[in-house]
A and B are shown apart, each in its own frame.
Chain A
Amino acid sequence: MFKSGNWEKAIDVRDFVLKNVRPYDGDSQFLCEASERTKHLWNICLDAISKERANNGVLAIDTETVSGVTSHGPGYIDKDNEIIVGLQTDMLLKRAMKPYGGIAVVEKACEEHGVEASERVKDIFNNYAKTHNDGVFDVYTPEIRLYRSLGILTGLPDNYARGRIIGDYRRLALYGTERLIQAKKLDMLSLVGPMTDERIRLREEVAEQIKALHQLKELGDIYGLDLSRPAKTAQEAVQWVYMAYLAAVKEQDGAAMSLGNVSSFLDIYIEKDIEEGKITEEYAQELVDQFVMKLRMVRHLRMEAYNEIFAGDPTWVTEAIGGKLADGRHKVTKTSFRFLQTLYNLGPSPEPNMTILWSQDLPEGFKRFSAQVSIDTSSIQYENDDLMQCTRNSDDYGIACCVSFQEIGKQIQFFGARTNLAKTLLLALNEGRCELSGKKVLSNIPKLQSDTLELGEVMDNFKLAMKEVARVYNESMNIIHYMHDKYYYEKMQMALVDTNPKINLAYGGAGLSIVADSLSAIKHAKVTAIRNEEGLTTDFKIEGDFPCYGNDDDRVDIFAKQIPSYFNGLLKELKTYKNAEPTLSILTITSNVVYGQKTGATPDGRALGVPFAPGANPMHGRDKSGAIASLSSVSKIDYRDSLDGISNTFSIVPKTLGATQDQRTENLASIMDGYFAKDAHHLNVNVMNREMLADAMENPEKYPQLTIRVSGYAVNFVRLTRAQQQDVIARSFFETV
C-alpha cells in the first residue's frame, strides 16, 4: 500500500512522490545488464537506425494519415519480446505527418525525401483547414519579416511546432483517464462568466483537453491496455507513463518534447514490486531499458532547413534525474541509477536527454556514478538544483527542451528561439543598418562621432538597438503563440497540466561572448572601424591587448554579466500574450554556426562568417587559463537575469581529468561541485579525444552511437553536417601536456 496523502483527494503527483519516494544513498553495484529480450529488441532497433541513416536520415513516411493520438493501429518492434509497447505509427521509425504546424512544411519534408503527401491531405490543409504557419504569416508585420530575413531573429517557431510544454505524464499512471476527466470536468464547471475573450478561450481549451483524455483511453484500447484506471504494478506504471508520452508525440511534433521527471516517480512502483517479491532487479532494469529504448525511437518529420538550427534530428525527450526535495531529503533513487545504466546496456545515445539535477548534497555514490557515465558516454548534462530550487521555489520540476526549468503540471513555457545580440551590436555601429546588406533596420541610431570606437558612445547606441530589437522580438512572440494556441493547441499535453497554468515566455540571446569581448576590446584596446564605400563596417583594427571572457577576469566578465541583465530588463517591460512571464536564455542549440554566417566582422576580431561560441561559452581558443578559469567566468552570469537557462558546453580530454579512472571520476565530480557552488546554472560534459571526432568525420560507419553534447542537448555526432562537425572539433578541448 502507498502512503496516503493529499494526492488521493486532488490531482497532486508531487504529494504522492513526497510521501512515498525512497532516497537511495548507495552506489551502482546493484545494477544489472540488459536482458536477452532487451538485447534482441535493441539489435532490431540498431538495424533500423542504420537503414534510416543509409536512406538519407528517414526510413519511411506515412503520406496518407494525419497523425493524432488514435490515428494509427498498434506498432511493435517485436511484440513477443516487448514488455513495454507502443510506437508513433504502425512501423518502427516510420514518420507521420502533423500538418497543423504548417502544410507547406510537411509537403517540403516529404518532397525532400522523395515522397508526396496524399492529395486528400493536401486538399484539406490547403483549402479547408488553416495551420499555425498560415496564421502567423497572415499577421506578421513587414518589420518582423525583415528581422527574420536578416538573421536578427532566427529559428522562430513559426514554421514548426513550438514544443517546450511538458505534460505531467505521471498523472496517467497515478490516476487513470477516468479520474483525470472527472477533475477537468470539475474545473470546467467553475469556469463561468463574465465571458471575456480569456474565459471563452480557456473553456474551449479545457473542452479540447477532455476530448484528448478520451482519445488517450482509446490509444490504450488499441494496445489492449485499460488506461481508464490507475496503474497497479511497476510494469503498468512504466507502460502508462509511456502511453501518455506517446499520445503527446503522436499529436504534436514540437521542437522539444521533454519527458519531465518520471524516474523517481516510477521508482516508487518498482521498489514496491521488488519488496513484495513480484519482480527482480533484472526485470526492473528490463522495464527501464525497454522504456528508454522506446523513447530513443521517437521521430518527427522535419524539413532539411530545420537541421541548421536543431542539428542531428533531436527530439529532446529530456528527463530530469536527482535533485532534492524541499524537506532536505534528496530525490536520487535506484531508478535514477537504472536510467543512467541504460547508457551502458543500450550504449550511448543523445535521447532521452538525461539531465542530472546536481545538488552539493547528493549522495557521493550517485555523484561518482554520474561522473563515470559522463566519462564513458558523454551523454548526460548537469543543472544546478540548489540554485533552481531557491530561485524558482519548486522541487517538482523538469527541464523543458535543453536547460529550462519547468514546474511539472503547474507551469508551461512558450518557446521563443533567440535573437542575435552580436548583430544587434553591429546595428549600433552602423546607424541601424544591417552590416551585410546595408538595409535600414532601426531608425533611431545616431552616426558614431568617430571610427575609433569609444565605449560610452557605443554603449548608448547599443542600448537603443537592444530596446528596438526587444520590441520587435516581443511582437513576433505574441503573434506566434496566439496562432499556435489557435491552430495547433497541445490538447493532449495540456490535459495533463493544471487548468490555467503559469506561463513563461522563453526568449533567448546568442552571441554573448562576442559582445562581451567586443566591449572589452573597445574599452581596453584601441578599436577602429573599417568601413566600405557605403559606410558599413567590414572589419575592425585592434591595437593593444584586451582581456577575453573565459579567463576569470572581471574586467571583461562584467560585460557578460551585464548584457543579459540589461536585455532581460527590456523584455520584462513588454506586454505578453496570456500575460506570460518573460524569461531569457543564453543558449544557441547548433544555431551558433548559422548565426555566425549571418553576422559580419565584430570588434573582438572575429571575422565575418565565423561561428559564434555556443550558448554562454567563451569563444574557442580565447579561454587560455584552463578549464576552471573558463567555468568561473561563465558562472558569473546571474541566473536571475536568465531564468530560461545559461548553457555551457565543456569538452575535456580524458587524460586531463587525471591518470586513473578513480581520479577522473572524483575530479569531474569536484569540478561539478565547484562550478555549481559558484551559482552556475548548466553544464554539458564531453569527455573525449579530438582525434576520435576527426576519425568519426571520415569514418562515420565506425561510430553509429557516438554521442556528443552540444549547447543544451546531445546529438549523434555522425548526424551533424560537416560544417557543424568542424565547429565542434574547433572548440576548446581542455587538455594539459
Chain B
Amino acid sequence: MLLQEVSSKPYKRVQTHAACTSRPRVAPAPKLRVHSVESLGTYDGPGIRLVIFLQGCNLKCLYCANPDTIEFGGGTEYELDSLVQMAQRQRPFFGKKGGVTVSGGEPLMQARDLVPFFQKLQKEGLHTCIDTNGTILNNNSKELLKHTDLVLLDIKHIDSQKHLKLTGKQNDRTLAFAEYLASENIPTWIRYVLVPGYSDDEEDLHKMGQFLANKGNIEKLEIQPYHKLGEHKYESLGWKYQLTDVPSNTEAQLLKAKTIFEQYVKEVVIN
C-alpha cells in the first residue's frame, strides 16, 4: 500500500446490509459471454435490478433495439464469481423487491452456464429473473427455470406467420414455453412490443389475450411502446434498419391495446 494503511475499523452501528461473509470456493467456474451490464435497471423486473445483457440471440427481430447483442462472436467473458460479487455489492440497493435480471441477447442460449449462476444468487437470497424470447426449452433451460424467481417472456406475436415476418422464426416454441411455465406455475410477466402496422391488429391482440387468459402464473403484461432509439446502431453494424417508416405509438394506440389486454390479464402496464 502506497499511502498509510487506511483504518478499517467498523462503525459501531450494526450494519443491516453488511457484506456477505465467506462463500465456499468451487472449482474454476464457467463463464458467461456478456454484452454489457446496467447497475440501475428499473424496467426489467421488480424494483432496482442489476441487469446483465448476454451476447448472442437466435432471433433477429426487425425492431430490435440492441442489434449489437445479436451476433454470437462479440461480448466479454465474465467469470460467474465476478458477477456474483457484483450482485452482492449491489445488494443494499435492491430493497425488498429488486435483484438480478439476465437479459440479452437470448439468455437461454447460455442456460447451462446460467444454472450455477442462479443457484449461487438464490443461495445468497437474491431474486433471479430472466428476460427471454422463450424459443429454447431443453433440459438446461428447464433446470435454470427451477432457480428462476421470475420469467419475463417476450411474445413477439400471436400469429405464427406474422411472428415469422417479424423475427425470422415461427412462434410455436414460444407458445409452448408459455404453456410449460403455466404448467410449472412459474411466476411470469409477459412483454409485448406494440409495433404500429406489425403487431397492433386488434383481432391479434384479442387472440393473444385469449391465449394468456386463465394462465394463473401470469402476474402482469407489459406493453412496450415501439421506439427507434436503436436505429443508429444498425448503421454502425452496416445493417439496414427495415422499420424506418414506422411511426412511434400514439397514446391512443397504447391505451387501446391496454384496454383489450385488460379483458384477459389482471394487470396490464405500459412501460
Binding site for B on A (CB under 8 A): 360, 386-387, 389-391, 455-456, 459, 463, 552, 561-563, 565-566, 569, 625-632, 638, 640-641, 656-660, 663, 666-667, 669-671, 673-675, 677-679, 734, 736-737
- Enumerate chain B residues within 8 angstroms of A628, measured Cβ to Cβ: 39-40, 48, 50, 90, 93
Contacting A459 at CB < 8 Å: which of B2, B48, B98?
B2
Q: Cα distance A640–B11 when bound, in Å?
A: 9
- In the complex formed, the residue of B with least CB distance to A673 is B95
A569 close to B4 (CB less than 8 A): yes
Cβ-based interface call for B22 (8 A): no
A455 close to B2 (CB less than 8 A): yes
- Enumerate chain B residues within 8 angstroms of A561, measured Cβ to Cβ: 6
Binding site for A on B (CB under 8 A): 1-4, 6-7, 11-13, 15-17, 37-43, 47-48, 50, 65, 86, 89-95, 97-98, 229-230, 269-271
- Enumerate chain A residues within 8 angstroms of B91, measured Cβ to Cβ: 674
Could you name 26 residue pairs across A and B whose Cβ atoms are closer than 8 Å? A390-B11, A459-B2, A562-B2, A562-B4, A562-B6, A566-B3, A566-B4, A625-B38, A625-B39, A628-B39, A628-B50, A628-B93, A629-B39, A638-B6, A656-B40, A656-B42, A658-B42, A670-B47, A670-B94, A670-B95, A671-B93, A674-B17, A677-B92, A736-B41, A737-B65, A737-B230
Q: Cα distance A625–B42 when bound, in Å?
A: 14
- Distance to closest chain A CB from B132 (angstroms): 20
- Distance to closest chain A CB from B189 (angstroms): 12
A674 close to B95 (CB less than 8 A): yes
Q: Cα distance A459–B2 when bound, in Å?
A: 7
Q: Cα distance A631–B4 when bound, in Å?
A: 25
- In the complex formed, the residue of B with least CB distance to A463 is B3
Contacting A632 at CB < 8 Å: which of B43, B65, B89?
B89
Across chains A and B, which 7 residue pairs bring their CB atoms closest together, nearest first?
A674-B93, A626-B39, A628-B39, A670-B95, A677-B92, A674-B92, A677-B17
A386 close to B13 (CB less than 8 A): yes
Contacting A675 at CB < 8 Å: which of B2, B12, B93?
B93
Question: What would 18 more interface pairs be, CB under 8 Å, given A663-B42, A666-B95, A674-B92?
Answer: A387-B13, A390-B11, A391-B11, A565-B4, A565-B6, A565-B7, A626-B37, A626-B41, A627-B40, A628-B48, A628-B50, A629-B39, A632-B89, A656-B40, A670-B98, A671-B93, A674-B93, A736-B38
- Enumerate chain B residues within 8 angstroms of A660, measured Cβ to Cβ: 269
A659 close to B2 (CB less than 8 A): no
Q: Cα distance A630–B93 when bound, in Å?
A: 12
Given A455-B2, A459-B3, is A678 in contact with B17 using a C-beta cutoff of 8 Å?
yes
Q: Cα distance A663–B222 when bound, in Å?
A: 14
- Distance to closest chain B CB from A616 (angstroms): 16
A552 close to B42 (CB less than 8 A): no
- In the complex formed, the residue of B with least CB distance to A658 is B42
- In the complex formed, the residue of B with least CB distance to A455 is B2
A736 close to B93 (CB less than 8 A): no
- Enumerate chain A residues within 8 angstroms of B48, measured Cβ to Cβ: 628, 667, 670-671, 674
B92 close to A565 (CB less than 8 A): no
- Distance to closest chain B CB from A524 (angstroms): 14
- In the complex formed, the residue of A with least CB distance to B4 is A566
- Enumerate chain B residues within 8 angstroms of A387, measured Cβ to Cβ: 11, 13
- Enumerate chain B residues within 8 angstroms of A627, measured Cβ to Cβ: 39-40
- Distance to closest chain A CB from B154 (angstroms): 16
Given A659-B43, A677-B15, A736-B40, is A632 in contact with B90 using a C-beta cutoff of 8 Å?
yes
Q: Cα distance A670–B17 when bound, in Å?
A: 13
A667 close to B65 (CB less than 8 A): no
B3 close to A552 (CB less than 8 A): no
Q: Cα distance A656–B16 when bound, in Å?
A: 27
- In the complex formed, the residue of B with least CB distance to A635 is B92
- In the complex formed, the residue of A with least CB distance to B9 is A640
Q: Cα distance A97–B68 when bound, in Å?
A: 63
- Enumerate chain B residues within 8 angstroms of A640, measured Cβ to Cβ: 7
- Enumerate chain B residues within 8 angstroms of A630, measured Cβ to Cβ: 39
- In the complex formed, the residue of A with least CB distance to B10 is A679
Contacting A562 at CB < 8 Å: which of B3, B93, B230, B271?
B3
- Distance to closest chain A CB from B87 (angstroms): 11
Q: Cα distance A262–B1 when bound, in Å?
A: 46
- Enumerate chain A residues within 8 angstroms of B15, measured Cβ to Cβ: 677, 679
- Distance to closest chain A CB from B16 (angstroms): 6
- Enumerate chain A residues within 8 angstroms of B4, measured Cβ to Cβ: 562, 565-566, 569
- Enumerate chain A residues within 8 angstroms of B94, measured Cβ to Cβ: 670, 674
A677 close to B42 (CB less than 8 A): no
B3 close to A565 (CB less than 8 A): yes
A678 close to B47 (CB less than 8 A): no
Contacting B40 at CB < 8 Å: which of A389, A626, A659, A666?
A626
B16 close to A360 (CB less than 8 A): yes
Q: Cα distance A598–B151 when bound, in Å?
A: 54
A666 close to B6 (CB less than 8 A): no
- Enumerate chain A residues within 8 angstroms of B271, measured Cβ to Cβ: 659
- Distance to closest chain B CB from A615 (angstroms): 20
- In the complex formed, the residue of A with least CB distance to B38 is A626
- Distance to closest chain A CB from B35 (angstroms): 13
Q: Cα distance A524–B16 when bound, in Å?
A: 35
Given A552-B39, A674-B93, A677-B17, is A659 in contact with B269 using a C-beta cutoff of 8 Å?
yes
- Distance to closest chain A CB from B165 (angstroms): 25
- Enumerate chain A residues within 8 angstroms of B3, measured Cβ to Cβ: 459, 463, 562-563, 565-566
- Distance to closest chain B CB from A734 (angstroms): 6
Given A565-B6, A638-B6, A663-B42, is A677 in contact with B16 using a C-beta cutoff of 8 Å?
yes
- Enumerate chain A residues within 8 angstroms of B86, measured Cβ to Cβ: 552
